[in-house]
Chains A and B, each alone.
Chain A
Amino acid sequence: MSTTGPAATAGAEPEATPGPGEGSAALPALAAVGLRLRLQRSLERLCDFGAAGLSLAALALIAARLDATWPAEPVLLLGLALPAVGLLVGLLRPVPAQLAARSLDRAMATRDLATSACAFLDIEAGQRSRFMQATIDSARRHLARAEPAQVAPYRRPQRLLLCGGLATVCAALALFEPAPPESPKAPSPRAAPRRGALLHSDDLDAFRRDVDPIASQAQGDPETRALAQELNAIIEAMGEGRLDRAEAMRALRELQRKLEAERGEQEQAALREALAELGRSLDRPGETQEVADAFKSGQAARARESLETLAKELRDKKLSAAHAKQLQKLLERAAKTPEQGRQKELEQKRDELERLLKKKRKQAEASPQEKRLLKKRQRELERLQREAQEMARKNEARRKLDRLRRQLAEAARQLGQNNRQGGSEHLQQGAQQLQGPAGEQLSERQLQQLQQQLEQLRQLLSKQGGQGQQENDSQSKGSGAGKRPGGAGERLTLGRFAGLSRGKSGRPGSKGGEGGKPGESGEGEGEKGTLLMPGKGGKNGSESSLLLPGAQQSDRPGSMTALSPQSGAGEGGTSESGPKATQLDGKRVDTRVQGQQGKGPSRSEVIHESSRRGFASETYRKVHAEYGRHAQSVIERDEIPGGYRFYVRRYFQLIRPREAE
C-alpha cells in the first residue's frame, strides 16, 4: 500500500478547504520548489542569452578588428544587455504550479499526488468530490515533509561552459590589438624572401633572357628601358618569393597599363614611319633632297621646317622652272597614298570574303574539303578585320598624313598651273599639319617584345593559379624526395601537360606526388589529338620523347611504346594489344627483359633535359631560333587558335637552348 493512502492519513485533523488557484498557499512546498525552479530557470536563461550576447559581442569585436571604422559599440552594448534581459525574463516569468508539483512527485515518488492535488485545487471547492478533497489533504500532509533543496537542487546551467568559452574569446579579442595595416610597397630586390617562389628559376631565366637585352640596351629608348627594368624587377621578386600570385598579377597589370600608354605613343611612331615613306617618295637629287632627308629622318619638326623652307623658296621664286616641274612631279607621286590603296584593297577583299562565306553557309551540305576552305577563308577574314582595326588604331597619324598629302597634291596642281604662290601656300599649310610633338624615338619592336613577355608571364601565372595549383599542392604534400630541378613537383609545366601529369612526378622509383605503382601509367589520360606531347622519360631521363598523338610512353627506362591513339594506360614496354607473334618452329630463346619499375621524370622534365643535354648545340640554337620565329609568325597569322597560342609560345620557351651547366 502506498504511503499516500489512508493509512498515512488516519487520525489527521480535517483542514481548511482552499479555493481555486490557491495551490501554492495550500501546498507550501509547491511555492518553495517553484521559487527554486524559477531561479534555476533564470540562470539557464542568463546563460542562454549570455551565450547569444557574447557571440554577438565576439562577432562585433572581430568586425572591429578587421575594420576599425565599423561601429562596434552598439552591437557590443546589445551583446552585454542580452544576458540581463535573459535573467529578467527568467525571474519575471512565473513557474507553473504543475511543474513544481511534478518535481515534487518525481522527488518523493508520490505517484502524481502533488500534480493531481494541484489540479484539483483549481476546481471550485464546492464542485470537488470527496476523493478529490481527500487527495488534496493527503498531498498537504505528504508534501509538508518535502525538502525543496532535494526536490529542486540547483544545477549548473547547460550553457555555462559555452558562456565561459565565449567570454574568454571576447576578452582575448578585446585585448588583441591588430598591427596597423601595411601600405603596399613596391617589391624591393633586397627584401627578404617571404614565400615560395611563384615560378621556377628556369622559367624566370627564360623571361630574364628575353627582357635583359632590352633593359640593358644603351642606345634604346629610356622609357622602354625603364619598363624592361621594371618587368625584370617583378620577375626577380617573383623568383625570390617576395610576391604572391595576387601581388604579382597586380604588378603585371600595372606594368601592362604603362606599356599600353607607351604604346599609345606608337601612333607617333606610325607617323614617323609614314613620314619616312613620304621622304623616300621625295628622295630625288635636286632641290627636294633636303626635304626628302628631313622626311626620311621621321622627325616631324625637321620635316616641317624643311617643308616651310621649300615653300619659302617657292614663294621667293628661288627655284628654277625645271626644278619646279620636277617638284610638281615628286609632289604628285608623294600625294598618292599607298595606305589608301591598301585600305581599299582590304575592304574589297573583306567584302568578297563575306559574300563568299554567306554563300557557303547557305549551302546546307558541304564536303569536308569545302568546310576546310570555308574555315580558312573565315580565318583570313578575321585577319583582315584585325588589320583594319590596327589601321584604325593608327588613325590619327593617318589623318595627319592624308591632310599633308592633300596639301602636297594641291601644291603640285598649283605648280602645274605655274602658280608658285599657290603652291607655296599649300606647302606651307602642309607643313602646318606636321605641327605637334614629334615624340621620342621609341623602339616599337622592343615594346612589342616587352608586352609579349608580359602577357606570357601573366598567362603563365594565371594557368598556374588554375590547374597548376592543384598539381603543386598534391606534390608538395606527397612528393618528398621527388623534388629536383625541373620536376613537376616544383616547377611549372605547360598548362596542358600539367593537366595530364597532375600529381604524378618525382624521382624514378620514388613516390612523388601520389606515387606510382609498378606498371601504372602515371601520366594518365593519353588524350586524343594532343600534338607533340612531351613524353615521360626513362629513369635517367636521358631519352627524348616526342610522342604521336594519343601515344603513351612506358614507365621503363629509355623505352618508348607508341600505343594506339586513345589508349589510356601504359603497359610497360610490351604492347599486349597487338596481334600474336607468328609461331615459328625454329628454336629460339625468348628473353623478356624486365625494365626497372617506377615513375620516370615528368614530361616537362624530359623537355628540360633534352634541351639542356641533347640539343644544346649551336645548330640547335639556330634551328630553335628559326622555328621559334616561324611559330611566332604562324601565331601572328592566326593560323593557331587563340587558346593554343600560349602553349606554343610556352613550348618554345621550354625547349630553348640553355647555357652549358
Chain B
Amino acid sequence: MTTEPSPEEIVADFAAKVGRVREEVARVIVGQRPIIDGVLTCLLAGGHALLEGVPGLGKTALVRALAAALDLRFSRIQFTPDLMPADILGTTMITDDEHGRRSFSFQPGPLFAHIVLADEINRTTPKTQSALLEAMQEHSITVAKITHSLEQPFFVLATQNPLEMEGTYPLPEAQLDRFFFKLHVEFPDHDELHAILDRTTGTQAPEVSPVLGRDDILQMRSTVRQVAVARHVQDFAVSLLEATHRDRPLATALVKRYVRFGASPRGAQACMTAARIRALFDGRFHAAIDDVREVAKAALRHRIILNFEGEAEGITSDQVLDEVLREVPSPG
C-alpha cells in the first residue's frame, strides 16, 4: 500500500531534483545561474526558451549540458537561410520492405526529440521558423495530412545573436510570444572566465551524467500546478501586465511614451507559472510577490512591442519593465 506523499515531501523532492540538475550542469557551465534556472523553469513549465546573447557565451554548451543532465532525447538544428521546413519536421519517403514492396513512410526530422536546440533561429526563413513555432505551440507536426504528435516533454531552446542582423529574419512578435522566457545570456565576470578557461583548456573534459528522466520531469510539471497562489500575488501579476499597456491607469511614463503594444495575457500566465516554479525551487508551498518580480522581466520582455519613437531612442523593453516593476505597488 502506497501513501500519497505529503506536500512537504513533494516540495522537498522537487527541490532536490532541481538541485541535482543544477549540480550536473554546473560541471560544464560556469556561473550563469539565472540562465540555468530560467531554462529549467521553462522546461518545468512546459514552455520554450529563447536565449539571446553574443557568440561564445556558452549558449549551446548550456543546452547540451542540460540535455545531458536530463535523460532525454536531444537534437540540435543549426538554422540557415536555405533550411526548409521538411528538414526539421521530417518528410514522407518511398521505402522498400523486405518483400520488395514499396510504400510511403514518414521519416521524422530533428524536431522529434525531447530537447531541441534551435541554434540561431533568426538565420532561417520565416517559412521554416513558422514550421518550428507551430510544433512548439501545438506539440504536433502535420506532414502529408498526417499529424504526428511530439513526445512530451518537448522543449525547444532557441538561440539568436543580437549583433549580426544582416541576412537574418527577426522573429515576428506573434512568434516571439510563443516563447515562455526570453533570457539574456550575460558576459561572465572575471572569476567565471578563469573557471571557464580551467575547465575547457585542460586535459580533463568534464562529463555530465543524466540525473532526471522523462517521468521525473512530467511529475515535476504536475507538482508545479499544485503550488498555492494567494489572490494578492495574482493581483500583482495582473497589475504588472496592465502596467505595460499604455491605455491602462497603471501605465508608467515610459510605457505611455514608448510602448506600442503591451504584453499579452500569455505574459501573465508565464509570470504566474514561473513564480510557482520559483517557489518550489525555494522549497515553498506558495508563490510570493517577489517570485513574480524575479521572473517578470524574462516573461514579459519579448512580449512588449515598442513604438517607432522607442526604437529610435534606443529604449529597451528591459528599461520599460524596470520602471514598471519599480512603480507598480504591491497590493494591499
Q: Which of B15, B230, B291 has the most CB of A within 10 A?
A: B230
Task: Please determine whether A6 and B286 come into contact, CB atoms closer than 8 angstroms.
Answer: no
Task: Please determine whether A112 and B7 come into contact, CB atoms closer than 8 angstroms.
Answer: no
Q: Mark A84-127, 1 if CB is under 8 A from B, else 0.
A: 00000000000010110010000000011101110110000000
Residue B21 interfacial (CB < 8 Å): no
Task: Please determine whether A111 and B284 come into contact, CB atoms closer than 8 angstroms.
Answer: yes
| Complex CA distance for A99 and B232, rounded to whole angstroms | 12
Residue A191 interfacial (CB < 8 Å): no
Residue B141 interfacial (CB < 8 Å): no
CB distance from B266 to the nearest CB of A (A): 24
Task: Please determine whether B233 and A116 come into contact, CB atoms closer than 8 angstroms.
Answer: yes
| Complex CA distance for A131 and B14, rounded to whole angstroms | 14
CB distance from A351 to the nearest CB of B (A): 78
Task: Please determine whether B8 and A131 come into contact, CB atoms closer than 8 angstroms.
Answer: no
CB < 8 Å neighbour of A1 from B228, B282, B287: B282
| B-chain residues with CB within 8 Å of residue A4 when the two chains form the complex | 283-284
Q: Which of B9, B226, B288, B290 has the most CB of A within 10 A?
A: B288
Task: Please determine whether B12 and A116 come into contact, CB atoms closer than 8 angstroms.
Answer: no
CB distance from B224 to the nearest CB of A (A): 11
Task: Please determine whether A130 and B226 come into contact, CB atoms closer than 8 angstroms.
Answer: yes
Task: Please determine whether A112 and B233 come into contact, CB atoms closer than 8 angstroms.
Answer: yes
Residue B285 interfacial (CB < 8 Å): yes
| Complex CA distance for A138 and B228, rounded to whole angstroms | 13
Task: Please determine whether B12 and A7 come into contact, CB atoms closer than 8 angstroms.
Answer: yes
| Complex CA distance for A96 and B232, rounded to whole angstroms | 14
CB distance from B11 to the nearest CB of A (A): 5
Task: Please determine whether A134 and B230 come into contact, CB atoms closer than 8 angstroms.
Answer: no
CB < 8 Å neighbour of B332 from A2, A98, A138: A98
| Complex CA distance for A411 and B207, rounded to whole angstroms | 155
Task: Please determine whether B290 and A111 come into contact, CB atoms closer than 8 angstroms.
Answer: yes
| A-chain residues with CB within 8 Å of residue B289 when the two chains form the complex | 112
Q: Nearest B residue to A2 by beta-carbon distance?
A: B282
Task: Please determine whether A1 and B8 come into contact, CB atoms closer than 8 angstroms.
Answer: no
Task: Please determine whether A113 and B286 come into contact, CB atoms closer than 8 angstroms.
Answer: yes
CB < 8 Å neighbour of B15 from A1, A129, A132: A1
Given A6-B8, A7-B12, A99-B332, A119 and B284 touching (CB < 8 A)? no
Task: Please determine whether B285 and A115 come into contact, CB atoms closer than 8 angstroms.
Answer: no
Task: Please determine whether A1 and B230 come into contact, CB atoms closer than 8 angstroms.
Answer: no
Q: Mark B1-40, 1 if CB is under 8 A from A, else 0.
A: 0000011110110010000000000000000000000000
Task: Please determine whether B231 and A10 come into contact, CB atoms closer than 8 angstroms.
Answer: no
| Complex CA distance for A420 and B323, rounded to whole angstroms | 120
Residue A466 interfacial (CB < 8 Å): no
CB < 8 Å neighbour of B285 from A99, A119, A138: A138
Residue A9 interfacial (CB < 8 Å): yes
| A-chain residues with CB within 8 Å of residue B117 when the two chains form the complex | none
Given A6-B7, A6-B12, A135 and B228 touching (CB < 8 A)? yes
| B-chain residues with CB within 8 Å of residue A129 when the two chains form the complex | 226, 228
Task: Please determine whether B332 and A131 come into contact, CB atoms closer than 8 angstroms.
Answer: no
Task: Please determine whether B15 and A5 come into contact, CB atoms closer than 8 angstroms.
Answer: yes
CB distance from B255 to the nearest CB of A (A): 26
Residue B132 interfacial (CB < 8 Å): no
Q: How many residues of A contact B (CB 8 A)?
A: 28
Q: How many residues of B contact A (CB 8 A)?
A: 25
Q: Nearest A residue to B4 by beta-carbon distance?
A: A130
Q: Nearest A residue to B9 by beta-carbon distance?
A: A6
Given A134-B7, A135-B228, A112 and B283 touching (CB < 8 A)? no
Task: Please determine whether A111 and B7 come into contact, CB atoms closer than 8 angstroms.
Answer: no
Q: Nearest B residue to A6 by beta-carbon distance?
A: B8
Q: Which of B6, B8, B227 has the most CB of A within 10 A?
A: B8
| Complex CA distance for A99 and B283, rounded to whole angstroms | 25
| B-chain residues with CB within 8 Å of residue A7 when the two chains form the complex | 12, 283
Task: Please determine whether A116 and B282 come into contact, CB atoms closer than 8 angstroms.
Answer: no
| Complex CA distance for A135 and B229, rounded to whole angstroms | 10
Task: Please determine whether A131 and B283 come into contact, CB atoms closer than 8 angstroms.
Answer: no
Task: Please determine whether A102 and B286 come into contact, CB atoms closer than 8 angstroms.
Answer: no
| Complex CA distance for A99 and B291, rounded to whole angstroms | 20
Task: Please determine whether B288 and A116 come into contact, CB atoms closer than 8 angstroms.
Answer: yes
| B-chain residues with CB within 8 Å of residue A98 when the two chains form the complex | 232, 332
CB distance from B240 to the nearest CB of A (A): 15
Q: Nearest B residue to A133 by beta-carbon distance?
A: B7
CB distance from A177 to the nearest CB of B (A): 52
| Complex CA distance for A115 and B332, rounded to whole angstroms | 10
| Complex CA distance for A87 and B287, rounded to whole angstroms | 38
CB distance from B223 to the nearest CB of A (A): 9
Q: Nearest A residue to B233 by beta-carbon distance?
A: A112
| A-chain residues with CB within 8 Å of residue B232 when the two chains form the complex | 98, 112, 115-116, 119
Task: Please determine whether A111 and B285 come into contact, CB atoms closer than 8 angstroms.
Answer: no
A-B contact pairs, 29 of them (CB 8 A): A1-B15, A1-B282, A1-B283, A2-B282, A4-B283, A5-B8, A5-B283, A6-B7, A6-B283, A96-B332, A98-B232, A111-B282, A111-B284, A112-B232, A112-B287, A112-B289, A113-B284, A115-B230, A115-B332, A116-B232, A116-B233, A119-B231, A120-B228, A131-B7, A131-B226, A131-B228, A131-B286, A133-B7, A134-B7
Those 10 A-B pairs whose CB atoms lie nearest each other, nearest first:
A5-B283, A6-B8, A112-B288, A119-B230, A116-B230, A134-B7, A1-B283, A111-B288, A131-B228, A134-B285
Q: Which residues of B contact A (CB under 8 A)?
A: 6-9, 11-12, 15, 226-228, 230-233, 282-291, 332
Q: A96-B332, A131-B7 are in contact. List 18 more A-B contacts (CB 8 A).
A: A1-B15, A5-B11, A5-B284, A6-B8, A6-B12, A9-B8, A99-B332, A112-B230, A112-B232, A113-B286, A115-B232, A116-B233, A116-B287, A120-B230, A131-B286, A132-B228, A134-B7, A134-B228
